[in-house]
């Protein structure tokens, strides 16, 4: 397992949802210790079944919603620094 937090992209989520031969979301959750999803990425998910699945991960605490405009979603300075790396 990779213990460092990782941001997940909308394309990865959409492809994971469409792959029928295995539960890719289970792989993601097993591989990464902390999955972060940016609020803008969440808003890009237009397929309702995909959005509902991601909302469930967030609600259940498996994934963390990241909003750089909200101080409450940035638990540490390290998470914000990681966000800046992904942003560039």
pLDDT band with cut points at 50, 70 and 90 for residue 77: low
Q: Where are the domains of the chain?
A: 2-87
Q: Which two tokens stand for residue 84?
A: 């800046």
Q: How many helices (H) and strands (E) does the chain have?
A: 5, 3
pTM of the model: 0.78
Please write the tens of the pLDDT for every residue from 49-71. 999 999 999 999 999 898 877 66
What contacts 74, CB < 8 A, 6 or more positions away?
Answer: 66, 68, 80, 83
């Amino acid at each position: 397992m990779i213990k460092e937090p990782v941001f997940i992209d909308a394309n990865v989520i959409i492809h994971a949802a469409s792959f029928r031969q295995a539960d890719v979301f289970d792989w993601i959750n097993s591989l990464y210790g902390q999955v972060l999803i940016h609020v803008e990425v969440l808003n890009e998910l237009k397929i309702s079944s995909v959005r509902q699945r991601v909302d469930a991960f967030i609600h259940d605490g498996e994934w963390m919603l990241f909003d750089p405009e909200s101080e409450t979603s940035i638990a540490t300075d390290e998470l914000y620094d990681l966000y800046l790396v992904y942003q560039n």
